[in-house]
Structure 1
């Protein structure tokens, strides 16, 4: 899963009053490196080359703007071995080899969870994180005139938030705080605030916590039930408080009373046949364009909530001529000519995010995707898998859409890595040459 430590720094350079390509650094005037970048532009039938100057300072790539001259410095620019590290991860035969690949520090981010047949489990919030001077505010734009802000070292893997073999028996991450990757004292702690790691929970992390809490031991069926869960936690954990949407008095807002009641009666599930989920879906997509405002103030006011519901209702009436929409009425799983009612809402354990499709409909484009469940046994791994659409990208193939119905129903199929069995079951065999 994607993580969000501070992987990038921005510096404002102190430019010379007369020479616009010189900047002050440790009391000396340094010159920006300047090169030409050529862009190929197609204008109707005409192809032209356009060149633009590009600049580089001691900090890194540099841009000139109306607000000043800024340099960007990020470790991701300083190592091209990321693909090699992924390759070595895949070739690792045990945890020692996997950890050796991790020590390359070539992949700039990502939460990583490891498990193997030897019952080794491990979590790390990975990253190429600079060793920074604690005397500066690294969350803001930094002074670009001193070597004190010019970092050149990275934190070792051992310094990053991680958990190995916790006695609790589990590790997890849902893009939330790495400092809550298991339970109790074995959770990582903040060691350097300049790393800028996220500390927030989200709906998935809190729902996972609630599902896991009553279990003394997690069975394989428990695990599948948790993975396929489409229920929000009892309290929402969005980046801003949305409770006002559920606190409106329908008697005071007769024009939107139907939507107010549907939200109040909603069980917070994301099933395709759920009317409350359909209402929340429409409301959510009305919130998204304005989320910067709500992020800034930290909540949605009652007045804002009423206006959001009015806007959502107007859209529902315009596009569908009614307001009692099930989630599957408006959200579809689409490929080719096939469009199926699609369950799932943003930030559920089995999540779904959608984009506009046609005629007021939305189609899923992010969230639950390829799914693989692995159970280690003495006789080898037992594997179940599920693809969003099918195993082929060819429109004329019977496997272009043959897993779509399974996907919306959260059904899996057997899978094997046994080469002999694969050949036995193959419908067709061919050689690419």
Structure 2
């Protein structure tokens, strides 16, 4: 059947974010089917793939193959989604996804030829690798799964989407819903979780025992984020080791080559605006701009969706302006959403240039493309440079920013942003005094404090000063003058100190003891007083403290929103005292009542209030079930870990610290790494859980970067797409 064209209000919310696609799809050529002959994959210890390819096309092919081999359907299905054809395979429930990507695909297809041959070769090789994998593993995919993906489809995996959540909030403010239960579901990717983020450090030669620069990369995201450790080599072209992301070749990459490396951490910036345009009262579907009548652009888009054994179609209507998509029309206004990244197609170009760079200047030239509009970048190189960039394609606003969910009245071009804040004006540090750089998602003002801290922003939409407990702990760990080795950096990174305890425990102990406690409460507060203020696996008192803090902070069944800081701390964080706040308890009475409750609750959950941290907090993957140290962001650990409650009441790590890469830049890079959830998400794989216990214990593996190390660690060699036996560990 064919559905009628319609635009109900709940569909329009998604519709305004959508993109129209080029409908041309490729066929796998005989040459692409033979790409396996031009590349060898060597898996070393723990299954890390080292891609040795004759050219970039073969390298892209091999990367797609190993991602698919280790993650099954994930990468091919991501490319399917980026092609705008998910609903044709998976059914109507995927139709919103297809509408969401289609229009942007058209912009990528239009500009695809402008990319360098090298980038197109990787995209097209990656598509060929996905096609080959699907062809040889039809039984693993749903019926109708295509194997005709193109380089444009792969490039479209890097689409920067509009924020559906922000648009929904804007529309809800304009028209508050009568029933909140009817709102569309919130996207899980629209907002960083409380225990997500990242850590990054860099040390100059003057701060290291070897006299060589050191870089630490340590993302903290969901363990389903798909960080994928791999090594890509094309002789004379690229030799890069680091993390790719499952689903594409260039999503967000960090790592190193023989000359330099970088890490990323999330930052906070405002990259979008809502505009209100005046309707032209004389001309339908038009608006006034600089005194002229400008027509809206109307598009009818059609998506195929699986309907039983056949296909049906649905067509929707969309309106847009050169400023961005129309999100609402009412009261004589046309509301438009303008966002950075709309139509951006060069992210892969930028990352490949970064991967191939041989010097800081070359690397910065790649960054100046600004195709990656977000993230802090922390950098180190063999020449001894360390560098930090608060990266943002930040709009150069014509007026000071206001309410983020209020539409800016626009009469003409003078009211809208058309340029970015200059690259040279972004916050950045090059070889600062003290020889260190750090970032743990706090604002850039505190990246290095040896030269003093300037909290004044050059532009009104720069990130406001903020310094988390985690960042304060980092400064305590590395802000001195001690020289460090690569091994020292890893030891410091695994510090289990809970800085929150340093700030509030004394107040808690004093408040509880002032009530002359007896029985278990008296014993429990003595336990907390003796506790060493760490979240180490063997620590006792830490699990009780965590349960108390959550209760005191307002976290209860059905409520996962923390109380405001002024309801929790006697002194909240203050830019005038950034390294010693927050501290103290705001409400001793509530703190005592919460502690009494926590003693009984800990006993109820675990049988005793003096249970160790590691008895409760676990890494569980496959047959691995071991204690782990580290805690949530609000508790002030550097090793951030978030947990899911299992049926037995224990907590298993599922977010936060998970991928660690530390490298020292000598004549030959020397590095260590560990990936908590392993190279594969397939439970039958030997590389599903083989790094889990190592990670939990704070151990790492030696990175094989040179040919000699790769050959020494080789577990299996193969040509992807060539029939072979199943590997053994």
Partner of 2:3: none
Aligned equivalents of 1:144, 1:243: Cα separation in 2? 52
Partner of 1:365: 654
The answer to whether structure 1 residue 56 and structure 2 residue 56 are counterparts is: no
Partner of 1:193: 459
Superposed CA deviations along residues 13-42 of structure 1, whole A, max 9, x for unmatched, are 566899996666556675554445667788
Aligned equivalents of 1:375, 1:260: Cα separation in 2? 45
Of 330, 349, 357 in structure 1, the residue corresponding to residue 638 of structure 2 is 349
Secondary structure (helix, strand or coil) at the match of 1:76 reads coil
Q: Is the 8 A contact 2:436 2:479 kept in 1?
A: no
Q: Structure 1: 5+ residue runs without aligned partners? A: none
The answer to whether structure 1 residue 323 and structure 2 residue 589 are counterparts is: no
The answer to whether structure 1 residue 9 and structure 2 residue 273 are counterparts is: yes
Q: Is the 8 A contact 1:387 1:407 kept in 2?
A: yes
Partner of 2:625: 339
The answer to whether structure 1 residue 112 and structure 2 residue 377 are counterparts is: yes
Aligned equivalents of 2:704, 2:688: Cα separation in 1? 20
Distance 1:370 1:136, change over 3 A: closer
The answer to whether structure 1 residue 231 and structure 2 residue 500 are counterparts is: no
Of 682, 693, 701 in structure 2, the residue corresponding to residue 405 of structure 1 is 693
Partner of 1:150: 416
The answer to whether structure 1 residue 417 and structure 2 residue 705 are counterparts is: yes
Distance 1:385 1:299, change over 3 A: same
Of 95, 113, 125 in structure 1, the residue corresponding to residue 390 of structure 2 is 125
Secondary structure (helix, strand or coil) at the match of 1:132 reads coil
- Kindly report the root-mean-square deviation, in angstroms, between the aligned alpha carbons of the 2 structures: 3.9
Partner of 2:440: 174
Partner of 1:279: 544
Q: 1:211 Cα shift? A: 2.2
Secondary structure (helix, strand or coil) at the match of 2:349 reads helix
Superposed CA deviations along residues 268-287 of structure 1, whole A, max 9, x for unmatched, are 21112223321243345555
Q: 1:358 Cα shift? A: 2.7
Q: Is the 8 A contact 2:272 2:340 kept in 1?
A: yes
Aligned equivalents of 1:175, 1:116: Cα separation in 2? 22
Q: 1:293 Cα shift? A: 5.7
Aligned equivalents of 1:225, 1:65: Cα separation in 2? 57
Deviates further, 278-287 or 82-91 = 278-287
Using structure 1 for the length normalisation, give the TM-score.
0.83
Partner of 1:388: 676
**What is the aligned length?**
429
Q: Is the 8 A contact 1:5 1:198 kept in 2?
A: no
Distance 1:121 1:214, change over 3 A: closer
Q: 1:134 Cα shift? A: 3.6
Higher relative CO (Cα under 8 Å, sequence separation at least 6) belongs to 2
Of 422, 430, 433 in structure 1, the residue corresponding to residue 718 of structure 2 is 430
Deviates further, 241-250 or 197-206 = 241-250
Using structure 2 for the length normalisation, give the TM-score.
0.52
Aligned equivalents of 1:28, 1:305: Cα separation in 2? 63
